[in-house]
Amino acid sequence: MFFLLAMATVEPPQQLWKNSVTGALHFQVHPCGVMELYVSPLPEGASREGALYPDGAHITDLKEARGLLYTMQRPAIAPSVSCLFQCNAFY
């Protein structure tokens, strides 16, 4: 019973955090630990062009969720490897 109550109060972690010194947004993920992924919809008036999930999504396919996060973090791991999307589209 306690386990069910505790799980009901757990919130998904945010993937972006703001550096308190520079004010810049930073992206941090660990794809190996993900089981599912929640994507928030774009805000009203935002450009939907090129957006993978403009209306938001709940990705439960393990391979798709981990692959998406790996693709997003790849530019930071190896900047010389080209990115499939504009990384600044998340800011």
Task: Write out the chain's pLDDT in tens, 91 residues.
Answer: 444 445 556 666 667 778 889 888 887 777 777 888 888 899 999 999 988 899 999 999 999 988 888 888 776 666 665 554 455 444 4
pLDDT given at position 57? 93
Per-domain boundaries in the chain = 13-90
Neighbours of 62 (CB within 10 A): 12
pLDDT given at position 31? 76
Which regions of the chain does DSSP assign to beta strands (E)? 16-18, 25-27, 37-39, 57-59
pLDDT given at position 43? 92
Handedness of CA 49, 62, 32, 74 (dihedral sign): negative
